[in-house]
């Protein structure tokens, strides 16, 4: 066991982990939160929740008025149940439903809508009030928490990211590795070229390219940075 595994920062931190799909943000952020005994918040899940709700209500991603009315009645929250974190939409458990490929694309589409971004900005800010949280997303360090205590931006080559995502999805989907890569490229373009809160590293974020790094090596690097800044 390395020293970093029993390390606790000198003050409560708000940590952000941004990056494109498949860069390893989720695994890294979950383990990081576990090691620090912090809360983990998957903000992509919130966009996916809005996407499912809007789809069921027949509201298109560019329908501002429709989405505004929908968001007013929408209650999204995470609930810890044993070792699982559930996402509840107006009380319904939608945790597994949000992972379908169609919902990934729809989430990317609704996430470009200003009404949705404003609704989730407020919700995320509330979730961050108590600090001691690891927020994973696309604009955590740039827009939602520009004053975060420490910011990371995780990236990897498109080949590596698509291969990782295919491994995760292959039991639940009939998508081929090529389909997964095509979807991922489309989402990358959507997420990084939209006008509002596009995917990009904050100027003061620490960049980590995980193409040739194991999960444990990424965690070690992150813990090392936290230790240097807050040891």
Q: What residues make contact with ligand DC under the rule CB under 6 A?
A: 21, 43-44, 47-48, 104, 107-108, 111, 137-140, 187, 191
Q: Which residue, 155 or 191, is less far from ligand DC as judged by CB? A: 191
The Cβ of residue 229 has, within 10 Å, a number of other Cβ atoms equal to 13
CB of 224 to ligand DC, least distance (A): 25
CB of 194 to ligand DC, least distance (A): 8
Q: Which residue, 9 or 29, is less far from ligand DC as judged by CB? A: 29
CB of 136 to ligand DC, least distance (A): 7
Q: Which residue, 9 or 123, is less far from ligand DC as judged by CB? A: 123
CB of 191 to ligand DC, least distance (A): 5
Quote the DSSP letter at residue 139.
Answer: S
CB of 12 to ligand DC, least distance (A): 22
d(CA 125, CA 221) in angstroms, rounded, equals 27
- Provide the 3-class DSSP secondary structure of residue 89: strand
d(CA 182, CA 85) in angstroms, rounded, equals 29
Q: Which residue, 138 or 151, is less far from ligand DC as judged by CB? A: 138
The Cβ of residue 98 has, within 10 Å, a number of other Cβ atoms equal to 22
∠ CA(98), CA(141), CA(207), 5° rounding? 100
Q: Which residue, 35 or 138, is less far from ligand DC as judged by CB? A: 138
d(CA 224, CA 221) in angstroms, rounded, equals 5
């Amino acid at each position: 066991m390395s020293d970093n595994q029993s390390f606790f920062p000198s003050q409560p931190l708000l940590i952000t982990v941004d990056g494109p799909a498949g860069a390893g943000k989720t695994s890294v952020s979950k383990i990081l939160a576990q090691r620090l005994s912090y809360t983990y918040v998957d903000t992509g899940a919130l966009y996916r929740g809005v996407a499912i709700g809007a789809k069921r209500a027949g509201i298109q991603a560019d329908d501002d008025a429709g989405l505004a009315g929908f968001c007013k009645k929408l209650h999204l929250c995470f609930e810890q149940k044993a070792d699982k974190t559930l996402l509840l939409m107006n009380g319904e458990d939608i945790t597994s439903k949000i992972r379908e490929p169609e919902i990934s694309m729809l989430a990317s589409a609704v996430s470009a809508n200003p009404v949705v971004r404003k609704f989730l900005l407020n919700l995320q800010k509330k979730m961050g009030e108590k600090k001691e949280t690891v927020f994973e997303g696309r604009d955590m360090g740039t827009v939602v928490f520009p004053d975060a205590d420490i910011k990371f931006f995780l990236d990897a080559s498109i080949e590596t990211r698509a291969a990782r995502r295919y491994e995760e999805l292959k039991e639940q989907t009939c998508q081929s590795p090529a389909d997964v890569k095509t979807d991922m490229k489309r989402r990358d373009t959507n997420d990084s070229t939209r006008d509002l809160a596009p995917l990009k590293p904050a100027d003061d974020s620490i960049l980590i390219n995980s193409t040739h790094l194991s999960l444990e090596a990424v965690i070690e690097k992150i813990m090392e940075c936290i230790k240097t800044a807050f040891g």
